[in-house]
Structure 1
Amino acid sequence: MGITVEIHKDGCALLTMRNGENRWNLTTLKQLNDALDEVERSKSVRILVTTGEGRFYSNGIDLDFLLQVGRGSSEWQQFFTVLLDTLWRVMHFSVPTVAAINGHCFAGGAFLAICHDYRVMRSDRGWISWNETLISSRIPKFLIEILERKLDADAKRESVIFAKRLTGPEAVNLKIVDGVVPEANLISESKSLGFGALGKNNIKRVDLQNMKKDMIPRTMSVTKANL
């Protein structure tokens, strides 16, 4: 099924993930980056909205894939390198980005969501959380950097340390997401946030991207030592 991109006449690029639970492995990350390439090539795009279909926005890393390649293998390190580069690519994307969280959003999926400028969740379905505590896993320092950049102390306590499955209203209270709406309004509200960020300003892509890099700097990369 892959990932599709629709370029709307109003300047919104709608990126839809269509891989079931939308788990991340080298194949699905390539699909995502190919889709982001398509968005960047289109000069008419003013904002980017990402979403999934069905029950999941993204259920995180494909653990079966990691088990298959083996911890510490070259593919293991390659995967985390591509994952981290992709997350920071979204964080520093050259147009406003909005995650339209249509369903469950866990772990690696939640990382993708918080790397957007804005997030909107459905009011009737879906949780967001980082479930590593529940599966006896530790978050690498290069991913903790993203949490430090994007979540405040209360949000980290509830959603990461205690791995609570937060509903949309709970996530709003913790400032993890910016709003909750009925499913029928999810995309339209996400587009409103994206276009509202621009307002009437004619912000050049390169200037927006540079400001994001200055305000949310990346300092870490993937090495064997910190995997």
Structure 2
Amino acid sequence: MEKRLVTVDFTEDGFAIVRMKNGQNRFNLVFLDSLNQALNEVERNTKCRAMITTGEGKFYSNGIDLEWMMTVDSEAIVKFQKALENIMWRVMHFPLPTVAAINGHAFAGGAFLAMSHDYRVMRSDRGWITWNETHLKLRLGDMLLNLLSKKVLAMKSIREAVLFGKRVTADQAKELFLVDSMTELSDLIPTAKQVAQEALGPNGIDRDMLQKMKQDLYVRPSGDKPFLPETNLKGSKL
């Protein structure tokens, strides 16, 4: 049986645990397709009340698979850019409360994925969250800048984690409002479930209304410029 890069487990108390299980969980077309399939499973389950995403081992996600991108043609890069843009907006507009349980490093695209969620819980003793595009000599396009403007409101946070690409630990991330809470690895999923439960409140939230509210608050613009121009990619050092 072919190994699934992203799996979904449904708990008896109504949570979907989406696990990224491909090492560093770098984004390429195959990985994004697997992630999309997992999101489809969650949406089809009408008994599911909230979604939690996490990784395994040292990594939540180490971002875009630049080595893979160096091996494909421009058509595949454009297709990938659109697929990643769609996955970010899909998570931002997901019809359930979403929590990123950051078990390890969340770099660049991985940090963007975490920020696409409603909430973030980070492992306290290990792992960084950071945007290292400055160090890779890669510019951020409209879509990712738009995401940051909606999810990271403090200028200090933008300056430290994005502009200067510092490796932010869990306690620093909480101080910068990049994550909502931090905890030991053994309590990561239980804490994420508690966060989601508090978001749901005692009476729950209607799926359709929640999604409409997210779409109103996080308006998806049309005609965004590409976020990872091929000229920048080819000229950067991996």
**Hey, what does 1:76 align to over in structure 2?**
77
Partners of 1:222 and 1:114 in 2: CA distance: 19
Written as runs of structure 1 = structure 2, the 5 A alignment for 1:1-227 is 1=3, 2-70=5-73, 73-152=74-153, 153-222=155-224, 227=229
Q: Distance in 2 between matches of 1:223 and 1:175?
A: 28
The TM-score with structure 1 as length reference comes to 0.96
SS in 1 for 2:8: strand
Query: Could you tell me how far apart the structure 2 residues matched to 1:28 and 1:116 are?
Result: 18
- Distance in 2, matches of 1:65 and 1:225, equals 17
- One-letter code of the match for 2:168? L
More displaced stretch, 201-210 vs 55-64: 201-210
Aligned equivalents of 1:221, 1:89: Cα separation in 2:
17
The structural deviation recorded for 1:201 is 2.6
Say whether the 8 Å CA contact 1:81–1:221 is kept in structure 2: no
Long gaps (5+) in structure 2: 230-238
Letter of the 2:192 counterpart: S
Structure 1 pair 138/223, CA: closer, same or farther in 2 (3 Å)? closer
TM-score by length of 2: 0.91
Distance change >3 Å, CA 108–CA 225, structure 1 → 2: closer
| Partner Cα separation in structure 2 for residue 100 and residue 138 of structure 1 | 27
Distance in 1 of aligned mates of 2:75 and 2:224: 12
Report the secondary structure of 1:38's partner residue: helix
% identical aligned pairs: 48
Is contact 1:77-1:222 (8 Å) kept?
A: no
Gaps of 5+ in 1: none
RMSD: 1.4
